């Protein structure tokens, strides 16, 4: 587990090999954090801009210059600091040699508890695209439709996007995905789709609930459930993960990892993208 020390000027976290900010925010689970160089990243979550300074030499210690209250209310949950990732990694590693290798490659990955609405939009935009472009679309979406604060743009609200037509979203340059965003905004805004309710539903029911949105299939539904609602049993399968499954787990669907499926999937996804030759 990580060790948390509260100081007057912020919060210090000793990670004990369980957290690396860069591995976590640039492994393809979120698209809005930025690398400032010199072991510094920054992001905006729930309207709060945060810079994180870290030092890998001391088994990764990191510093957040925020109040103790904000850390406890927001960042502790967002980074899932209450969960023992060493234990998860041990279970995953025991399960298969290749999963062990993937977990060892980036052991500092954690599954973020993102805002459900942002996660839904992010993965709607992700379809048939690539990570740099997804980041671009999301940045433009926030610049044009999110509230501007001193430190950056807040993610657009459901209500704001529910007022938009696909034509209004042209500045995002999302192509055919624009009308999918509109569908999502309208169904969530009207209450036909209830993201918080999906947190408690049985998994197949939760999937079907999200798939009422035009443009949300099984992949986007699973990503929303995993990254937005922290349903850790979800194992989203896309073109990359299909290659991984065919190459390393033929005939399986990811179910072998049980409650650790979401974390295992992220280790495998990141490792396979960093070592594409290993899929040949």
Partner DNA sequence: GCCCAGGTATAAA
Partner DNA sequence: TTTATACATGGG
Residues acting as catalytic residues: 219
Residue 46 DSSP label: T
What are the C-alpha distances in Å from 205 to residues 39, 93, 136, 201, 211? Answer: 42, 30, 32, 6, 10
Q: Is 233 a residue that touches DNA (CB under 7 A)?
A: no
The residue among 87, 49, 66 whose CA lies nearest residue 13 is: 66
- Kindly identify the residues of this chain, within the stretch 116-135, that bind DNA according to CB under 7 A: 123, 126-134
Closer to DNA by Cβ: residue 28 or 47: 28
Q: Which of 69, 239, 250, 251 binds DNA (CB under 7 A)?
A: 239
Q: Is 29 a residue that touches DNA (CB under 7 A)?
A: yes
Closer to DNA by Cβ: residue 13 or 89: 89
- Kindly identify the residues of this chain, within the stretch 74-103, that bind DNA according to CB under 7 A: none
Shortest Å distance, C-beta 269 to DNA = 4
- Kindly identify the residues of this chain, within the stretch 142-181, that bind DNA according to CB under 7 A: 170, 173-176
Q: Which of 10, 47, 136, 258 binds DNA (CB under 7 A)?
A: 136
Q: Choose one: 71-79, 141-149, 184-192, 230-238; the region binding DNA (CB under 7 A).
A: 230-238
- Kindly identify the residues of this chain, within the stretch 246-265, that bind DNA according to CB under 7 A: 265
* Count helices and strands in the chain by DSSP H and E runs: 14, 6
Q: Which two tokens stand for residue 56?
A: 């890998």
Q: Which of 62, 138, 188, 223 binds DNA (CB under 7 A)?
A: 223
Shortest Å distance, C-beta 111 to DNA = 9
The residue among 6, 27, 162 whose CA lies nearest residue 102 is: 27
User: b/e for 92-115, b at 16 or more Cβ within 10 A?
Assistant: bbebbebbbbbbebbbbbbbbbbb
The CA distance from 83 to 18, in Å, is: 10
Which residues in the chain belong to E strands, given as ranges?
3-7, 10-14, 34-35, 40-45, 48-55, 61-64
Shortest Å distance, C-beta 217 to DNA = 3
Closer to DNA by Cβ: residue 218 or 275: 218
Q: Which of 73, 211, 256, 278 binds DNA (CB under 7 A)?
A: 211
Residue 132, number of CB atoms within 10 A of its CB = 8
Q: Is 217 a residue that touches DNA (CB under 7 A)?
A: yes
The residue among 66, 38, 43 whose CA lies nearest residue 53 is: 38
Residue 200 CA neighbour count, 13 Å, CB half: 3
Closer to DNA by Cβ: residue 63 or 248: 248
Q: Is 186 a residue that touches DNA (CB under 7 A)?
A: no
The CA distance from 52 to 26, in Å, is: 14
Q: Is 214 a residue that touches DNA (CB under 7 A)?
A: yes
Instruction: Using CB under 7 A, list all residues that contact DNA.
Output: 27-29, 123, 126-134, 136, 170, 173-176, 211, 213-221, 223, 236-241, 265-266, 269
């Amino acid at each position: 587990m990580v060790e948390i020390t509260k100081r007057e000027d912020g919060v210090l976290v000793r990670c004990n090999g369980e957290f690396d900010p860069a591995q976590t925010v640039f492994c393809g689970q979120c698209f809005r954090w930025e690398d400032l160089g010199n072991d510094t990243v920054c992001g905006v979550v729930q309207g709060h801009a945060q810079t994180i300074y870290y030092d890998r030499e001391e088994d990764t210690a990191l510093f957040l210059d925020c109040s103790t209250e904000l850390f406890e209310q927001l960042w502790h949950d967002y980074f899932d600091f209450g969960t023992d990732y060493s234990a998860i990694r041990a279970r995953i590693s025991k399960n298969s040699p290749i999963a062990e290798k993937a977990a060892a490659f980036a052991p500092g990955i954690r599954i973020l508890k993102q805002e459900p609405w942002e996660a839904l939009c992010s993965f709607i935009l992700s379809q048939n695209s690539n990570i740099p472009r997804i980041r671009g679309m999301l940045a433009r979406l926030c610049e044009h439709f999110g509230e501007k604060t001193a430190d950056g743009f807040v993610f657009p609200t459901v209500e704001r996007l529910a007022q938009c037509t696909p034509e209004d979203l042209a500045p995002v340059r999302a192509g055919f995905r624009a009308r999918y965003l509109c569908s999502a905004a309208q169904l969530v805004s009207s209450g036909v789709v209830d993201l918080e309710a999906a947190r408690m539903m049985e998994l197949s029911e939760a999937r079907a609930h999200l798939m009422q949105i035009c443009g949300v299939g099984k992949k986007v539904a699973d990503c929303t459930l995993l990254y937005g609602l922290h349903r850790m049993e979800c194992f989203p399968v896309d073109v990359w993960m299909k290659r991984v499954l065919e190459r390393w787990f033929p005939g399986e669907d990811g179910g072998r990892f049980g409650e650790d499926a979401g974390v295992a999937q992220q280790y495998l996804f990141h490792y396979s993208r960093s070592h594409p030759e290993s899929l040949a």
